[in-house]
Structure 1
Amino acid sequence: MLLALGINHNTAPVDIRERVAFAPNRVAEALQAMCDALAIEEAAVLSTCNRTELYTWGEVRSADVLQWLGDFHGLACNALEPYHYALSDAEAIEHMMKVAAGLDSLVLGEPQILGQMKSAYSDATDAGTVGRGLHYGFQQIFNVAKRVRSETEIGANPVSVAFAAVSLAQQIFSDLKEDTALLIGAGETIELVARHLHNNGIKHLIVANRTLERAQLLTNELNGEAILLSDIPEQLPRADIVISSTASQLPLLGKGAVEAALKKRKHKPMFMVDIAVPRDIETQVDELDDVYLYTVDDLRAVIDESRKSREEAAKKAELIVAEGVAQYQAEMRALQAVSTIKAYRQQAEHLRDKELEKALRALESGADAAQTMTQLARALTNKLIHSPTTKLKQASADGRAEVIDISQELLGIDLSKEPSKPH
């Protein structure tokens, strides 16, 4: 059974989402712990700023998965109960396909989620928690997402969280050509923010990151300045705009540091957007009079303006997803027969080997070859049809006509066609 259990931007506020987010360096540990605790062999974790989702393959109750999620993060299960959703089999694969295609994102059709879903699959593969069930499911998901990208306009004129953050900055600062932006982090989201700011003529760009080399890769291209995270307090007074998106599990910017920076700025206002989950900027910063602090949830209004233009494309994408779900279900049903087919073949091969061994012994002892071959064919035929014919007779005696009908279909028998008589 495929299970998808999660908490996302539609079901929970950021202060709940950040408490169940998985640090990248703990994903492998979490996957092994989940498999051990739930007695399953297959699991994957998707953790982004807008969602945390657990995917499992095996016989497991959603209540147990939710309990494990709470335990892992030190939360009471009832604290998560109102905010979670759990889907199984067809509904689970449909949801995962929609997530990968950007149909369930805060930004309809946003492209980053597919890469994040691929990373979730890759991380689980590396951790050894992907088997045939999840592997096949993820491949179908990626195929559907690729079709949505290539066959619809869902990704045309993309409006990402990064774009929304810069748009909000433009609403507050009429002319970015006079402003300095401090970006915290150097991942994909911050790279998009930096490019949007650069394209909109930002006067000066500062990128702070844990490693200087990573920040320099970005700033060298955009004619900006790279600093370490430890340099933020010193450089913060220069920043009119602060946008942060890291994978840190603890806040990087506290109320005291911002308060000190505002004094040096003589209380010139600062605009801040915290895209990270868990958050990079302490919530108490919002208490300061000269700071405009926004979280990823506050960007929804900006994003919703672009949503209408994508809704037609989304309808076509939904049809592609429906086709993908139907194909997945059909192929999963076919896979369910594999074990039966394998066992039936092994049984037939065992009977064949026994009869062949008898025939070879007879030939070695000087028996007539033609007679031995005839006996081999007769014995093998009788052995192969013995069990089915016995069961068919019993079904007929019990009045189970449906078994007779199914058997005719399985065995390729058409009673309307009389077999030709030998001449």
Structure 2
Amino acid sequence: MPLITVGVNHKTAPVAIRERVAFAPEKMIDALTSLISNNSATEAVIVSTCNRTELYCSIDDVSQANLVLEWLANYHGVSLSDLQQYCYVHADDDSVRHVMRVASGLDSLILGEPQILGQVKSAYAVSQEGACIGPELESLFQRTFSVAKRVRTDTAIGENPVSIAFAAVSLAQRIFADIRHSTALLIGAGQTIELVARHLKEQGVKRIIVANRTLARAETLANELNAEAIMLGEIGDYLSQADIVISSTASQLPIIGKGMVERATAKRRHAPMLLIDIAVPRDIEPEVEGVNDAYLYTVDDLHSVIEENVRARQDAAKAAEQMIEEGVSSYRRVMESRKVSELIVTFRKSAETMKNVELDKALKSIAMGQPPEQVLNKLAHGLMNKLIHAPTRYLRDAGADADQEALNIASSVLGIYEQKDH
């Protein structure tokens, strides 16, 4: 059966459209059931994230792609003409290639981001739970997960950080031999600092202190991560305890000055302190760079790292694309092999039916007292005639059409070789 992908993503549709066709997790099984019961698809998996909504479907005929698109528009109450402006449709190999690229992070907003593979696996599991997946999509997604795993394992697609928050944490990991023994002071409580805090927590940092102008906001983030919350005015009291300082506020004036850092490093007995300033305007005075045992990095330093890492990911993506092409070819071979297997099963059933008909005749003849030798001859003759009937007709038609290629193929299939005079 044909495979299709119907969807919108961050490349083709603005968020105003993407949010209108997004599926709530708690309604996903109902949506899948509706899609299939509507006769738009025979099998379906729906991936719905902030950056994409995609329907991967097995259908009876490629023309049914329009039915899937109509279903998507109707389900969300969106004008079909509006949706068609932003929607894309992939079929067969293009559909296989697309889902493999998505799962491998090659179609993501951030090249190589790892979260999408988990999201695709979750969508597949939901479809399984709703009994909306069958042999076609089962085979496709198992092959897809295998290819995505290979891309992650055999290329550097996800090794180099390409976000400010992750780059900051990665820098800290390079400076300190074991970040798990470190104390981190995070200044600010916005989205970037929240991401930094989560990355640090994932890496097992020993202690996190969150400083913010509004204590309540600092406490909200701190409570989520089992961290401590302080006011900006308390930074001077805590700075000497911090091995890592990462700051990102909207302040128009520096929050940390050279004198504050000098006093802190003196209390630390010159143990190294890493300061990463990712705010614009800067939160940390540039003069801090001259303080012994204090290592200051700015957002520009991180951007240069990120640019290098993006180039590294792009190089890795080339190798990943080749793996995906191999995955598409491998999947196609599996599908073609399955078709042949079905043909073989049908052929064997046909032969079995012929055998049973002739055997039944023979048994009846023996029961009526006919000589066994005569019955066996008749059985063998009947089986032979039935088995060679279709090939004989094919050979005659090919001969009448002077189709030498067909004759050569038939000779090979039937094991017939010309007898040559010697």
Give the corresponding residue for 2:185: 177
1:115 to 2:118 alignment:
yes
Q: Which of 401, 412, 415 lines up with 1:412 in the alignment? A: 415
Query: Which amino acid is 1:53 matched to?
Result: E
Cα distance, 1:303 vs structure 2 = 6.8
Query: Which amino acid is 2:32 matched to?
Result: L
Give the corresponding residue for 1:153: 156
SS in 2 for 1:203: strand
Structure 1: distance between partners of 2:108 and 2:189: 27
Query: Which amino acid is 1:403 matched to?
Result: A
Structure 2: distance between partners of 1:106 and 1:75: 25
When residues 419 and 92 of structure 1 are mapped into structure 2, their CA distance, relative to the original with a 3 A threshold, is farther
SS in 2 for 1:19: helix
Contact 1:6–1:51 (CA under 8 A) maintained in structure 2 = yes
Give the corresponding residue for 1:297: none
Cα distance, 1:84 vs structure 2 = 1.8
Structure 2: distance between partners of 1:306 and 1:37: 46
Contact 1:7–1:52 (CA under 8 A) maintained in structure 2 = yes
1:100 to 2:107 alignment:
no
Structure 2: distance between partners of 1:165 and 1:17: 31
Give the corresponding residue for 2:14: 13
When residues 197 and 362 of structure 1 are mapped into structure 2, their CA distance, relative to the original with a 3 A threshold, is closer
Structure 1: distance between partners of 2:197 and 2:18: 20
Give the corresponding residue for 1:23: 24
Cα distance, 1:20 vs structure 2 = 1.5
State the identity as a percent. Answer: 41
SS in 1 for 2:328: helix
Give the corresponding residue for 1:355: 358
Contact 1:110–1:160 (CA under 8 A) maintained in structure 2 = no
Query: Which amino acid is 1:203 matched to?
Result: V
Structure 1: distance between partners of 2:304 and 2:15: 16
When residues 195 and 43 of structure 1 are mapped into structure 2, their CA distance, relative to the original with a 3 A threshold, is same
Give the corresponding residue for 1:54: 55
Which digits, 9 at most, give the CA deviation of each residue in 1:254-303, with x for residues without a partner? Answer: xxxxxxxxxxxxxx959xxxxxxxxxxxxxxxxxxxxxxxxxxxxx9997
Contact 2:106–2:317 (CA under 8 A) maintained in structure 1 = yes
Structure 2: distance between partners of 1:343 and 1:197: 59
Cα distance, 1:332 vs structure 2 = 1.6
1:381 to 2:384 alignment:
yes
Task: State which drifts further: 385-394 or 128-137.
Answer: 385-394
Cα distance, 1:80 vs structure 2 = 2.1
Give the corresponding residue for 1:144: 147
Give the corresponding residue for 1:327: 330
SS in 2 for 1:54: strand
When residues 310 and 414 of structure 1 are mapped into structure 2, their CA distance, relative to the original with a 3 A threshold, is farther
SS in 2 for 1:44: strand
When residues 113 and 180 of structure 1 are mapped into structure 2, their CA distance, relative to the original with a 3 A threshold, is same
Which digits, 9 at most, give the CA deviation of each residue in 1:86-133, with x for residues without a partner? Answer: 111001101111111111111221111111111111111111111111
Which digits, 9 at most, give the CA deviation of each residue in 1:317-365, with x for residues without a partner? Answer: 1111111111111222222334433332221111100111122223334
Contact 1:103–1:314 (CA under 8 A) maintained in structure 2 = yes
Cα distance, 1:304 vs structure 2 = 6.2
Which digits, 9 at most, give the CA deviation of each residue in 1:363-415, with x for residues without a partner? Answer: 33444444433332222111111122123213322444443233223323343
Structure 1: distance between partners of 2:304 and 2:87: 24
Gaps of 5+ in 2: 171-183, 212-217, 233-248, 252-302
Contact 1:107–1:307 (CA under 8 A) maintained in structure 2 = no
Structure 2: distance between partners of 1:160 and 1:93: 29
Structure 1: distance between partners of 2:3 and 2:121: 18
SS in 2 for 1:347: helix
1:66 to 2:69 alignment:
yes
Structure 2: distance between partners of 1:362 and 1:390: 30
When residues 145 and 353 of structure 1 are mapped into structure 2, their CA distance, relative to the original with a 3 A threshold, is same
Contact 2:160–2:312 (CA under 8 A) maintained in structure 1 = no
When residues 413 and 159 of structure 1 are mapped into structure 2, their CA distance, relative to the original with a 3 A threshold, is farther
Instruction: Compare CA radii of gyration and give the structure with the larger one.
Output: 2
1:213-362 mapped onto 2 (5 Å cutoff): 219=224, 222-224=225-227, 269=250, 306-362=309-365
Contact 1:162–1:193 (CA under 8 A) maintained in structure 2 = no
In the superposition, the TM-score normalised over structure 2's length comes to 0.68
When residues 96 and 102 of structure 1 are mapped into structure 2, their CA distance, relative to the original with a 3 A threshold, is same
Cα distance, 1:70 vs structure 2 = 1.8
Query: Which amino acid is 2:412 matched to?
Result: E
Cα distance, 1:144 vs structure 2 = 0.8
When residues 352 and 14 of structure 1 are mapped into structure 2, their CA distance, relative to the original with a 3 A threshold, is same
Query: Which amino acid is 1:114 matched to?
Result: L
Q: RMSD over aligned Cα, in angstroms?
A: 3.8
Query: Which amino acid is 1:41 matched to?
Result: T
Gaps of 5+ in 1: 168-175, 209-214, 226-234, 240-267, 271-299
Contact 1:100–1:114 (CA under 8 A) maintained in structure 2 = yes
When residues 194 and 7 of structure 1 are mapped into structure 2, their CA distance, relative to the original with a 3 A threshold, is farther
Query: Which amino acid is 2:101 matched to?
Result: K
Contact 1:96–1:141 (CA under 8 A) maintained in structure 2 = yes
- The count of corresponding residues between Structure 1 and Structure 2 is 333
Structure 2: distance between partners of 1:28 and 1:41: 15
When residues 13 and 35 of structure 1 are mapped into structure 2, their CA distance, relative to the original with a 3 A threshold, is same
